[in-house]
Amino acid sequence: MSKNTLEISQSKSHMRRDIRSRRRATPVTFRTERDKRIQKNLMDHLSSLSAGRVAAYVPMQHEPGGRNLPGLLKASGLQVYLPRIVSIPDAHARGLSGTLAETLEWVRYEGETAVNARGIEEPVGNAEPGVLPEVDVFLVPALAIDQHGYRLGQGGGFYDRALAQPGSYREICAIVDHEEFVSAVPTDEWDLAVNSVVTDRGLNRFDAGNHRKP
C-alpha cells in the first residue's frame, strides 16, 4: 500500500468513525422527523423520474431514510428490489476472503425480511439474477456524499462493486442527512460517483454519475 493510499484509507476510517458516532447520538424523535422529510423528498424525486423499478435497501438503525423505506416505496406502486449478502461460490479458489468473498444478490421485495448475521435486514425470496442493471433508479446508502457526487460507504465494498457493473439506470441516488453532504470525501481511484443525493433538506443533482475519479 502506497503512502497516499494509506493516508486516504486512514482519512476514510476517521470520517466513518465521526459520522457513525454522530448518527448514534441523534435522538430517536429527531431521527424520525428527519426520515419523514427524507422520504418526502425522495418520493418527489422518484415521481419526477417516472420510475417503475427501484433497487433500494433497508436502512439500518441510526441510518437516514427510515427502516420503513422499502414498504413506503412498494406502497407507492414501485417494484422494489433489495440486496442480500451471499458468498461467491469460487471465492476460495480465486484467493478471495472477507467481504471480497461475498457479493450482493437482488430479490424483489414483497413485504417480508429477515435479519442476517450482521444484523442487517434482508429480503426473503428468490434472487433475480441480472435484474440490477435493468432498474430505473439505484438507491444506495452512504455515510457522506461530496459536492462532486463521490460517496463514502461503510467500507465493505459491496456497493462499490455493484456500482461498477454496467447498468441502464436513469439515476443513482444516495441518501444522507444534510450535514453529511460535504465539500469533499477522501476518494480512491476506483471510487464512483452518484447522480444525486437526497437529504432532509432536499435534492442535489450532479453532472454525471457512475464515473471514476479523474
Expressed as residue numbers, the domain containing 59 is 3-205
CB neighbours of 196 closer than 8 A, spacing ≥ 6? 45, 149, 171, 172, 173, 174, 203, 204, 205, 206, 209
In a domain, 213, yes or no: no
User: Is 111 part of any known ligand binding site?
Assistant: no
CATH number at residue 45: 3.40.50.10420
User: Is 152 part of any known ligand binding site?
Assistant: yes
In a domain, 211, yes or no: no
In a domain, 196, yes or no: yes
Task: Please provide the average confidence, as pLDDT, over all residues in the chain.
Answer: 92
For residue 57, the number of C-alpha atoms closer than 13 Å in the C-beta half-sphere is 22
User: Is 61 part of any known ligand binding site?
Assistant: no
User: Is 12 part of any known ligand binding site?
Assistant: yes
In a domain, 75, yes or no: yes
Q: How many domains does the chain have?
A: 1
Q: What is the pLDDT of residues 15-42, one digit of tens each?
A: 999 999 999 999 999 999 999 999 999 9
pLDDT at residue 207, as a whole number: 76
Whether the predicted pLDDT of 46 surpasses 80: yes
Buried b (16+ CB within 10 A) or exposed e, 117-130: eeeebbbeeebeee
User: Is 157 part of any known ligand binding site?
Assistant: yes
In a domain, 18, yes or no: yes
pTM of the model: 0.92
User: Is 158 part of any known ligand binding site?
Assistant: yes
Question: pLDDT confidence of 209, banded at 50, 70, 90?
Answer: low
User: Is 15 part of any known ligand binding site?
Assistant: yes
Write phi, then psi, for 88 (nearest 5 degrees). Answer: -80, 125
